[in-house]
Amino acid sequence: MRNPRSLVITGASSGIGEALALCYAEPGRRLALTGRDAARLDAVAARCRSQGAQVLARVVDVASREEMADWLAMVDDDAPVDLVIANAGISAGTGGAVESEEQARRILSINIDGVLNSVYPLLPRMQSRRRGQIALMASQASFRGLPGAPAYCASKAAVRVFGEAMRGDLAGDGVGVSVICPGFVKSRITAANGFRMPFLMEADAAAWVIRRGLARNAARISFPWPMAAAVWLLALLPPAWTDWILARAPRKG
């Protein structure tokens, strides 16, 4: 969608979500933002207002179906949502150990349920208007499971495939679906990585790549291209080769 007037962005208190909020903040545009950190979210909202946007900011638990449904209904009743960017998510590594059940369940709950809870309350409303766009934050880690981050990779693979399928289902309803697959982008998540991250991007640069992709209703927005190409090739290799390569790769701590 080239000129969405009313947007919802989850995970807007830091990283790509914060950068997207600032990227879209313009006069005549209304942003509904949510995030986990109230102080940071308020600061992002203030910066967006200084750029001329109308902003509604609230801390909402994306893993709560009821909280998200109530909040999104209120937002859409006030200003019908043109674009929802389901960006909220968490990551954690294993430090070389086997991932704990508790950590795996927490990551899967937030990263998958958070997307569903951000999409489904708005979906029938968009369908009835025959207008709207849904953007789902996946990852280049969605193309191949990586040792050290099994739940994270699995959650992002689920988000990517869900979005790809939903795009086909909603094509006749006037609702676009785009899947976003970034590589390494500067954020609180990547700041915890203790290894070299090739092609690391600034969050504001990533936000503009995403905005341009959403403007043309791209099916998949995968960047930067050298990293995307490397991940694609890795996924095509025979599993034994991939195992050998990844056994020598650094683990997320």
Nearest to 90 by CA among 41, 152, 154: 152
Cα three-residue angle 9-10-14, rounded to 5 degrees: 100
Q: What's the start-to-end Cα distance of the chain, in Å?
A: 38
d(CA 93, CA 102): 13
Catalytic residue from among 71, 143, 152, 223: 152
d(CA 206, CA 216): 16
Known active-site residue 152: yes
What count of Cα atoms within 13 Å lies in the side-chain half-sphere of residue 249?
A: 17
Q: Helix, strand or coil for residue 197?
A: coil
The answer to whether the CB of 58 falls within 8 A of the CB of 35 is no
The H-or-E segment that residue 29 falls in is: none
Length of the chain: 253
Neighbours of 91 (CB within 10 A): 22
Residues with active-site annotation: 152
